[in-house]
Amino acid sequence: DAGITQSPRYKITETGRQVTLMCHQTWSHSYMFWYRQDLGHGLRLIYYSAAADITDKGEVPDGYVVSRSKTENFPLTLESATRSQTSVYFCASQDSGRGPGELFFGEGSRLTVL
């Protein structure tokens, strides 16, 4: 099916472990984004990418690493998970031909760090 998919949908891990959240889109959109959503904070941008091999920091990048070797994939890695990274993570994509803000979001990955 076309669209944007995230995996895993649910993940429980322990402090200090490395975790990778996957994001795959089938539209060949240029832009991809990673957000986290927390009560009291709303959606906050972690990293974004304008194209393959081009990434940039967002509002809350510390403790996260991204890569984008292919246009359709944009994995997010927590190198050493901390409890404060317990959150719901959303991946989104945007066609470069559309206006800023016309994002398509995935269903989210719920991460719990014990």
Binding stretches for another protein (CB under 8 A): 31, 33, 40-45, 48, 50, 58, 90, 92, 94, 99-108
Q: Do residues 113 and 13 make contact, with C-beta atoms less than 8 angstroms apart? A: yes
Cα(53)–Cα(84) distance, integer angstroms: 28
Cα(64)–Cα(4) distance, integer angstroms: 21
CB 15, min distance to another protein, A: 25
3-state secondary structure of 8: coil
CB 91, min distance to another protein, A: 8
Q: Which is nearer to another protein, 40 or 62 (CB)?
A: 40
CB 85, min distance to another protein, A: 19
Q: Which is nearer to another protein, 15 or 47 (CB)?
A: 47
Cα(17)–Cα(35) distance, integer angstroms: 20
Q: Which is nearer to another protein, 3 or 16 (CB)?
A: 3
